[in-house]
Amino acid sequence: MAERESTKRERGSPYLSHAVGDALRDLTEKRLLDLVKSEPVPNHLAIIMDGNRRFAAAHGLDVSKGHAKGRDVAELLLDWCLEVGIRTLTIYALSTENFSRSSDELEGLMDLYERALRDIAVDERVHRHQIRVQVIGNRSLLPARVQEAIEVAEKATQGYSRYRFNVALAYGGRDEIVQAIRALAREVRDGTLAPEQIDSDAVSRHLYTRDLPDPDLIFRTSGEERISNFLLWQAAYSELYFSDVLWPGLTRLEFLRAIRSFQMRRRRYGE
Protein backbone atom coordinates (compact mmCIF):
# COMPACT_ATOMS: atom_id res chain seq x y z
CA MET A 1 0.00 0.00 0.00
CA ALA A 2 2.77 2.44 0.95
CA GLU A 3 4.56 1.69 -2.31
CA ARG A 4 1.39 2.38 -4.32
CA GLU A 5 0.90 5.68 -2.47
CA SER A 6 4.53 6.64 -3.17
CA THR A 7 4.12 5.86 -6.87
CA LYS A 8 0.92 7.91 -6.97
CA ARG A 9 2.71 10.89 -5.42
CA GLU A 10 5.55 10.59 -7.94
CA ARG A 11 3.10 10.53 -10.84
CA GLY A 12 1.46 13.66 -9.51
CA SER A 13 4.74 15.44 -8.86
CA PRO A 14 5.04 18.88 -10.47
CA TYR A 15 8.68 18.06 -11.22
CA LEU A 16 7.58 15.00 -13.20
CA SER A 17 4.97 17.09 -15.02
CA HIS A 18 7.59 19.67 -15.92
CA ALA A 19 9.93 16.94 -17.15
CA VAL A 20 7.22 15.48 -19.39
CA GLY A 21 6.37 18.94 -20.68
CA ASP A 22 10.00 19.69 -21.44
CA ALA A 23 10.39 16.38 -23.25
CA LEU A 24 7.31 17.04 -25.40
CA ARG A 25 8.51 20.54 -26.18
CA ASP A 26 11.94 19.26 -27.17
CA LEU A 27 10.38 16.60 -29.39
CA THR A 28 8.12 19.18 -31.05
CA GLU A 29 11.05 21.54 -31.54
CA LYS A 30 13.20 18.83 -33.12
CA ARG A 31 10.42 17.77 -35.46
CA LEU A 32 9.77 21.38 -36.47
CA LEU A 33 13.47 22.03 -37.02
CA ASP A 34 13.66 19.02 -39.35
CA LEU A 35 10.67 20.33 -41.32
CA VAL A 36 12.10 23.85 -41.57
CA LYS A 37 15.48 22.58 -42.78
CA SER A 38 13.82 20.39 -45.42
CA GLU A 39 12.45 23.38 -47.38
CA PRO A 40 13.72 26.79 -48.52
CA VAL A 41 13.89 29.38 -45.73
CA PRO A 42 13.57 33.16 -46.10
CA ASN A 43 16.67 34.64 -47.69
CA HIS A 44 16.12 37.85 -45.72
CA LEU A 45 14.37 37.84 -42.34
CA ALA A 46 13.52 41.18 -40.72
CA ILE A 47 12.50 41.30 -37.06
CA ILE A 48 10.62 43.97 -35.12
CA MET A 49 11.83 43.29 -31.59
CA ASP A 50 8.91 44.59 -29.54
CA GLY A 51 7.99 44.07 -25.90
CA ASN A 52 11.09 44.69 -23.76
CA ARG A 53 9.38 47.21 -21.49
CA ARG A 54 6.21 45.16 -21.09
CA PHE A 55 8.29 42.08 -20.31
CA ALA A 56 10.15 44.00 -17.62
CA ALA A 57 6.90 45.29 -16.09
CA ALA A 58 5.33 41.82 -16.12
CA HIS A 59 8.34 40.35 -14.29
CA GLY A 60 8.90 43.20 -11.83
CA LEU A 61 12.16 44.28 -13.46
CA ASP A 62 13.66 47.65 -14.26
CA VAL A 63 13.22 48.70 -17.88
CA SER A 64 16.99 48.40 -18.35
CA LYS A 65 16.80 44.72 -17.38
CA GLY A 66 14.09 44.18 -19.98
CA HIS A 67 16.32 45.70 -22.66
CA ALA A 68 19.28 43.60 -21.48
CA LYS A 69 17.22 40.42 -21.75
CA GLY A 70 16.13 41.54 -25.19
CA ARG A 71 19.75 41.82 -26.22
CA ASP A 72 20.39 38.26 -25.01
CA VAL A 73 17.57 36.99 -27.24
CA ALA A 74 18.98 38.91 -30.21
CA GLU A 75 22.24 36.98 -29.76
CA LEU A 76 20.33 33.69 -29.68
CA LEU A 77 18.42 34.76 -32.78
CA LEU A 78 21.66 35.00 -34.71
CA ASP A 79 22.44 31.38 -33.80
CA TRP A 80 18.94 30.26 -34.83
CA CYS A 81 19.26 31.95 -38.21
CA LEU A 82 22.65 30.36 -38.83
CA GLU A 83 21.23 26.98 -37.85
CA VAL A 84 18.49 27.03 -40.49
CA GLY A 85 20.49 28.86 -43.16
CA ILE A 86 18.98 32.35 -43.26
CA ARG A 87 21.54 34.49 -45.08
CA THR A 88 20.35 38.01 -44.21
CA LEU A 89 18.97 39.14 -40.86
CA THR A 90 17.81 42.67 -40.04
CA ILE A 91 16.69 43.63 -36.54
CA TYR A 92 14.77 46.80 -35.64
CA ALA A 93 16.59 47.98 -32.54
CA LEU A 94 15.71 51.69 -32.26
CA SER A 95 13.26 53.76 -34.28
CA THR A 96 13.35 57.52 -34.81
CA GLU A 97 10.16 57.67 -32.73
CA ASN A 98 11.91 55.99 -29.80
CA PHE A 99 13.87 59.17 -29.17
CA SER A 100 10.80 60.53 -27.38
CA ARG A 101 11.51 58.18 -24.46
CA SER A 102 13.03 59.39 -21.20
CA SER A 103 16.66 60.48 -21.18
CA ASP A 104 17.51 57.80 -18.60
CA GLU A 105 16.08 55.02 -20.75
CA LEU A 106 17.80 56.34 -23.88
CA GLU A 107 21.13 56.62 -22.07
CA GLY A 108 20.83 53.01 -20.96
CA LEU A 109 19.97 51.92 -24.49
CA MET A 110 22.96 53.75 -25.92
CA ASP A 111 25.21 51.98 -23.40
CA LEU A 112 23.70 48.68 -24.49
CA TYR A 113 24.17 49.39 -28.21
CA GLU A 114 27.75 50.55 -27.74
CA ARG A 115 28.69 47.38 -25.83
CA ALA A 116 26.83 45.11 -28.23
CA LEU A 117 28.49 46.59 -31.31
CA ARG A 118 31.96 46.39 -29.80
CA ASP A 119 31.28 42.81 -28.69
CA ILE A 120 30.08 41.73 -32.12
CA ALA A 121 33.26 43.08 -33.71
CA VAL A 122 35.21 40.37 -31.87
CA ASP A 123 32.48 37.71 -31.78
CA GLU A 124 33.95 34.36 -32.80
CA ARG A 125 30.71 33.37 -34.58
CA VAL A 126 30.81 36.47 -36.75
CA HIS A 127 34.31 35.76 -38.04
CA ARG A 128 33.86 32.00 -38.34
CA HIS A 129 30.69 32.39 -40.43
CA GLN A 130 31.95 35.51 -42.25
CA ILE A 131 29.03 37.72 -41.26
CA ARG A 132 29.10 41.30 -42.46
CA VAL A 133 27.62 43.67 -39.88
CA GLN A 134 25.96 46.89 -41.00
CA VAL A 135 23.96 49.55 -39.18
CA ILE A 136 21.16 51.28 -41.08
CA GLY A 137 19.54 54.51 -39.95
CA ASN A 138 20.24 58.17 -39.31
CA ARG A 139 23.56 57.91 -37.49
CA SER A 140 23.70 61.67 -36.85
CA LEU A 141 21.02 61.15 -34.18
CA LEU A 142 23.26 58.80 -32.21
CA PRO A 143 25.92 59.77 -29.65
CA ALA A 144 29.53 59.89 -30.88
CA ARG A 145 30.45 56.83 -28.79
CA VAL A 146 27.77 54.73 -30.52
CA GLN A 147 28.84 56.03 -33.94
CA GLU A 148 32.41 54.99 -33.11
CA ALA A 149 31.24 51.52 -32.05
CA ILE A 150 29.35 51.22 -35.35
CA GLU A 151 32.53 51.99 -37.25
CA VAL A 152 34.44 49.37 -35.24
CA ALA A 153 31.85 46.64 -35.99
CA GLU A 154 31.51 47.53 -39.66
CA LYS A 155 35.26 47.82 -40.26
CA ALA A 156 35.94 44.48 -38.55
CA THR A 157 33.50 42.69 -40.87
CA GLN A 158 33.59 44.74 -44.07
CA GLY A 159 35.37 42.01 -46.02
CA TYR A 160 32.70 39.38 -45.34
CA SER A 161 29.77 38.51 -47.60
CA ARG A 162 28.58 35.02 -46.69
CA TYR A 163 25.96 36.30 -44.23
CA ARG A 164 24.56 39.76 -43.50
CA PHE A 165 23.51 41.06 -40.09
CA ASN A 166 21.89 44.48 -40.15
CA VAL A 167 20.92 46.56 -37.13
CA ALA A 168 18.36 49.32 -37.67
CA LEU A 169 19.35 52.09 -35.25
CA ALA A 170 17.76 55.56 -35.28
CA TYR A 171 15.82 54.18 -38.23
CA GLY A 172 12.56 55.43 -39.73
CA GLY A 173 11.10 54.15 -42.98
CA ARG A 174 9.52 57.46 -43.97
CA ASP A 175 12.73 59.34 -43.18
CA GLU A 176 14.66 56.88 -45.33
CA ILE A 177 12.34 57.49 -48.29
CA VAL A 178 12.51 61.27 -47.81
CA GLN A 179 16.31 61.11 -47.83
CA ALA A 180 16.19 59.11 -51.07
CA ILE A 181 13.84 61.66 -52.67
CA ARG A 182 16.17 64.49 -51.69
CA ALA A 183 19.14 62.68 -53.21
CA LEU A 184 17.23 62.14 -56.45
CA ALA A 185 16.14 65.79 -56.49
CA ARG A 186 19.76 66.91 -56.18
CA GLU A 187 20.72 64.71 -59.12
CA VAL A 188 17.93 66.21 -61.24
CA ARG A 189 19.00 69.71 -60.20
CA ASP A 190 22.62 68.96 -61.11
CA GLY A 191 21.59 67.57 -64.48
CA THR A 192 22.89 64.05 -63.88
CA LEU A 193 19.42 62.52 -63.85
CA ALA A 194 16.30 63.24 -65.91
CA PRO A 195 12.95 63.12 -64.09
CA GLU A 196 11.80 60.42 -66.52
CA GLN A 197 14.64 58.21 -65.31
CA ILE A 198 13.29 58.08 -61.77
CA ASP A 199 11.77 54.66 -61.18
CA SER A 200 11.57 52.15 -58.33
CA ASP A 201 15.13 50.97 -59.00
CA ALA A 202 16.41 54.55 -58.77
CA VAL A 203 14.70 55.00 -55.42
CA SER A 204 16.04 51.68 -54.12
CA ARG A 205 19.59 52.70 -55.01
CA HIS A 206 19.34 55.60 -52.57
CA LEU A 207 18.04 53.65 -49.57
CA TYR A 208 20.08 52.43 -46.61
CA THR A 209 19.45 48.90 -47.88
CA ARG A 210 20.68 49.56 -51.41
CA ASP A 211 22.90 46.45 -51.46
CA LEU A 212 20.46 44.16 -49.65
CA PRO A 213 17.58 42.01 -50.93
CA ASP A 214 14.10 43.03 -49.80
CA PRO A 215 12.89 41.06 -46.77
CA ASP A 216 11.00 37.88 -47.51
CA LEU A 217 9.53 37.73 -44.02
CA ILE A 218 8.89 40.44 -41.44
CA PHE A 219 8.33 38.99 -37.98
CA ARG A 220 7.01 41.09 -35.09
CA THR A 221 6.70 40.06 -31.45
CA SER A 222 4.44 41.41 -28.65
CA GLY A 223 1.03 40.94 -30.26
CA GLU A 224 1.02 44.25 -32.12
CA GLU A 225 0.05 43.80 -35.78
CA ARG A 226 1.70 46.66 -37.65
CA ILE A 227 5.15 47.35 -39.08
CA SER A 228 5.67 50.70 -37.32
CA ASN A 229 7.65 52.62 -39.93
CA PHE A 230 10.01 49.72 -40.58
CA LEU A 231 11.32 49.04 -44.11
CA LEU A 232 8.23 50.64 -45.66
CA TRP A 233 9.57 50.64 -49.23
CA GLN A 234 11.27 47.27 -48.97
CA ALA A 235 8.24 45.49 -47.45
CA ALA A 236 6.06 45.78 -50.57
CA TYR A 237 5.89 42.00 -51.03
CA SER A 238 7.12 40.75 -47.67
CA GLU A 239 5.19 38.09 -45.81
CA LEU A 240 4.18 39.13 -42.28
CA TYR A 241 4.11 37.06 -39.11
CA PHE A 242 2.91 38.34 -35.74
CA SER A 243 3.52 36.61 -32.42
CA ASP A 244 1.95 37.36 -29.04
CA VAL A 245 5.26 36.55 -27.32
CA LEU A 246 7.10 39.55 -25.87
CA TRP A 247 10.58 39.87 -27.38
CA PRO A 248 12.64 38.80 -24.32
CA GLY A 249 10.43 35.74 -24.04
CA LEU A 250 10.94 34.58 -27.62
CA THR A 251 11.95 30.92 -27.85
CA ARG A 252 13.58 28.84 -30.55
CA LEU A 253 10.28 26.99 -30.92
CA GLU A 254 8.34 30.18 -31.66
CA PHE A 255 11.05 31.28 -34.10
CA LEU A 256 10.74 27.96 -35.94
CA ARG A 257 6.96 28.34 -36.06
CA ALA A 258 7.37 31.69 -37.81
CA ILE A 259 9.72 30.22 -40.41
CA ARG A 260 7.46 27.22 -40.93
CA SER A 261 4.46 29.51 -41.41
CA PHE A 262 6.39 31.33 -44.14
CA GLN A 263 7.25 28.05 -45.85
CA MET A 264 3.60 27.02 -45.98
CA ARG A 265 2.47 30.16 -47.80
CA ARG A 266 2.28 30.71 -51.54
CA ARG A 267 3.87 34.01 -52.50
CA ARG A 268 1.85 35.49 -55.35
CA TYR A 269 3.56 38.86 -55.91
CA GLY A 270 0.31 40.43 -57.05
CA GLU A 271 -0.81 37.51 -59.24
Residues carrying an active site annotation: 50, 98
DSSP states along 32-43: HHHHHHTS---S
Closest to 37 (Cα-Cα) out of 45, 47, 29: 29
Q: Are 219 and 46 in contact (CB under 8 A)?
A: yes
Q: Are 221 and 245 in contact (CB under 8 A)?
A: yes
Say whether 95 sits in a helix, a strand or coil: strand
Distances (CA, A) of 106 to 99, 116, 148, 180: 7, 15, 17, 27
Torsion of CA 75, 170, 173, 190, to 10 degrees: -130
d(CA 77, CA 91): 10
Contacts of residue 175, defined as CB under 8 A and 6 or more positions apart, other chains included, come to 96, 138
DSSP state of 171: B
Helix axes 14-37, 252-263, angle to 10 degrees: 40
**Dihedrals φ, ψ of 58, to 5°?**
-70, -25
